[in-house]
Amino acid sequence: MRNEIDRFLASLTHERNASPHTLRAYSKDLEQLEVFARARLGCEPTVTRIDPWLLRAFFADLHGRRASATTAGRKLATFRSFFRFLCREGTLTKNPARSLVGQKKDQRIPTYLQEQEAGELMKSSDNTNKSEERDAAILELLYSTGMRCSEVVGLVLDDVDVGNRSIRILGKGRKERWVPFGKPAHLALTRYLRTRAAISGGDPVFVGVNGRPLSDRTVRRIVARGLLRASIRTKASTHTLRHSFATHLLQRGGDLRSIQELLGHSSLSTTQRYTHVNPRYLLDIYKQTHPKA
């Protein structure tokens, strides 16, 4: 089974240009299935021994460990993709994951900061921190562009058009999008870049004190420290700033299609979650467009 997993991951890299984050997630899911199958079968599993019954047992075990519907859904999508690949290359004749039905996910309303809270977070600089300019630039860009944490970490200088205040972002599936950023983010980024030694276009924008690219964990700590300094009690993360970006655009009259493009969502239904945050948006659209409103 290990050889098939390696071939599948290689195909994701070369054919679909999958991101390192996606590859790690797929690899972890398939390794968990391999370990479960080995314990269940009592021998080294082969892909031909993986049938719908074994997969159902895997998800029953996952449910017993209180895994969320989102986690189970992602693993099911991984397995379907893996076995579809094996069918396509002729290793299997039937996809054992095809008949499985995923758990219904709870429709979670995104958490977000109020505009005042976001403003306080942007001003929560730490004068005692040697990386004050870097941290301020990261916070401003997260809120100004709606970037994901991984997208900030992967940003290189060639991706940033400082003069035109826009950023080229490689999102999920290596999909490219251009996103503008505001004057406060432009000012913070300019201040930070002045503190950097000469860097070329392929160098990472944000680095640690050792000069190496930041990790996702470091960016999350920067946000957590900022929230603490700003005395914001709302449970928040880097993704909360992404939600705040979208929600505040919607509240100020932005249309869903434009917000979808800025966030890099492949489906409008994903962006539509933000209408639940701001039901007044739907009421305003109704009043403006319905002839009998």
Residue 265 annotated as catalytic: yes
The Cβ-side half-sphere exposure at 32, using a 13 Å CA radius, reads 19
Q: For residue 285, count CB atoms less than 10 angstroms from its CB and return exposed for 0-12, middle for 13-18, buried for 19 or more.
A: middle
Residue 220 annotated as catalytic: no
Residue 274 annotated as catalytic: yes
Instruction: State the distance between the two ends of the chain, measured CA to CA, in whole angstroms.
Output: 61
Return left, alpha or beta for 278; rule: phi > 0 is left, psi -120 to 50 is alpha, else beta: beta
Given the residues 75, 134, 186, 242, select the one marked as catalytic: 242
Nearest CA-CA partner of 110 in 205, 287, 265, 237: 237
261, 291 Cβ separation under 8 angstroms: no
Given the residues 21, 172, 177, 196, select the one marked as catalytic: 172
Nearest CA-CA partner of 121 in 106, 138, 104: 138
Residue 281 annotated as catalytic: no
Distance CA 275, CA 268 (A): 11
Residue 63 annotated as catalytic: no
Distance CA 144, CA 139 (A): 8
Residue 148 annotated as catalytic: yes
Given the residues 112, 143, 274, 281, select the one marked as catalytic: 274
Read off the DSSP letter of residue 178.
E
Given the residues 191, 225, 239, 273, select the one marked as catalytic: 239
* Token pair for 221: 């700590």
Given the residues 134, 148, 186, 243, select the one marked as catalytic: 148
Helix (H, G, I), strand (E, B) or coil at 180: strand
Nearest CA-CA partner of 218 in 133, 122, 138, 118: 138
Residues marked active site are found at 148, 172, 239, 242, 265, 274
